[in-house]
Amino acid sequence: MQFKPFLLLLAVVAAQDDAFFECPESNGFFPDPEQCDKYYECVNKVPETKFCSDGLLFEASDPNNELCDYPFNVDCGAREFVQEPEPGLDIKCYRANGFFNHEDPLICNKYYNCVHGFPHAYECPPPLVFDEAQGTCVREEQASSFAKKCEKSDVKEEIEGFSCPDGETLGPNGQPLAHPSFPHPTSCRKYLTCYFSKDLNELGCTEGLVFDDRSNTCVPPEEGPKDCKCWYECDPKSDCPDSCNTDCSCS
Query: What does the pLDDT look like over 31-77, one tens digit per residue?
Result: 999 999 999 999 999 999 999 999 999 999 999 999 999 999 999 99
- pLDDT at residue 16 is higher than 60: no
Q: Which residues on neighbouring strands pair with residue 82, listed in sequence order? A: 8
Distance CA 117, CA 168 (A): 42
Residue 22: exposure state from Cβ atoms within 10 A (0-12, 13-18, ≥19): exposed
Tell me what pLDDT residue 197 has. Answer: 79
With a pLDDT cut of 90, the percent of the chain lying above it is 70
Contacts of 251 (CB under 8 A, 6+ apart): 240, 243, 245
φ, ψ dihedrals at 72, nearest 5°: -75, -5
pLDDT of 162 reads: 93
Question: Would you state the pLDDT for residue 17?
Answer: 59
**Model pLDDT, residue 168:** 86
Better pLDDT: 146 or 108: 108
Q: Looking at the DSSP assignment, which residues form a beta bridge with residue 159?
A: 162
Mean pLDDT of 176-184: 91
Closest CA to 101 of 82, 123, 76, 70: 123
Peptide bond into 127 cis (omega under 30): yes
Instruction: Give the chain's domains with CATH numbers.
Output: 7-83 (2.170.140), 98-142 (no CATH), 156-251 (no CATH)
Average pLDDT of the segment spanning 144-157? 80
Torsion of CA 19, 20, 26, 28, to 10 degrees: -100
**Cα(117)–Cα(239) distance, integer angstroms:** 64
Selection from 61-65, 140-144, 160-164 with the highest mean pLDDT: 61-65
Helix (H, G, I), strand (E, B) or coil at 86: coil
Question: Tell me: the pLDDT tens digits for 238-250?
Answer: 889 889 999 999 9
CA atoms within 13 A on the CB side of 2: 5
**Mean pLDDT for the stretch of residues 179-193:** 94
